[in-house]
Copies of this chain bind each other. A is one copy, B any other.
């Protein structure tokens, strides 16, 4: 994971890409914001990378303004989150983005960002 963050923080400013990375020991959820070409190529690179399994797209939308414009690639350690916050958006008190709507996972991430401290370097 360190190398992912390192790579993101080296390449993203040049590409104009911002976002955050939420992780537990088992699952990564990454939010990418930027031009369509840049975001698609980053996603395609993830899909081609053999180190990842079960790559899924949850939400993909054209937005009129970014939510994470100040973060090259912020990071949130979800394993340290209050279980009630996970339950608010999930069936069980675990991070399980594979079941349920992608928009519900985005709502969880928005609340994490609003309540938890994002770590990392601002762009």
Contacts and interface: CB of A to CB of B under 8 A. Distances in A.
Interface residues of A, number: 43
Interface string A15-43: 01010000000000000001111101001
Given A60-B60, A65-B107, A103-B62, A87 B47 contact: no
A90 B16 contact: yes
Interface string A77-91: 000000111011111
A57 B61 CA distance: 10
B87 A66 contact: yes
Interface string A33-71: 011111010011001100000011101111011100110
A40 B55 contact: yes
Interface string A102-118: 11100100000000000
B122 A64 contact: no
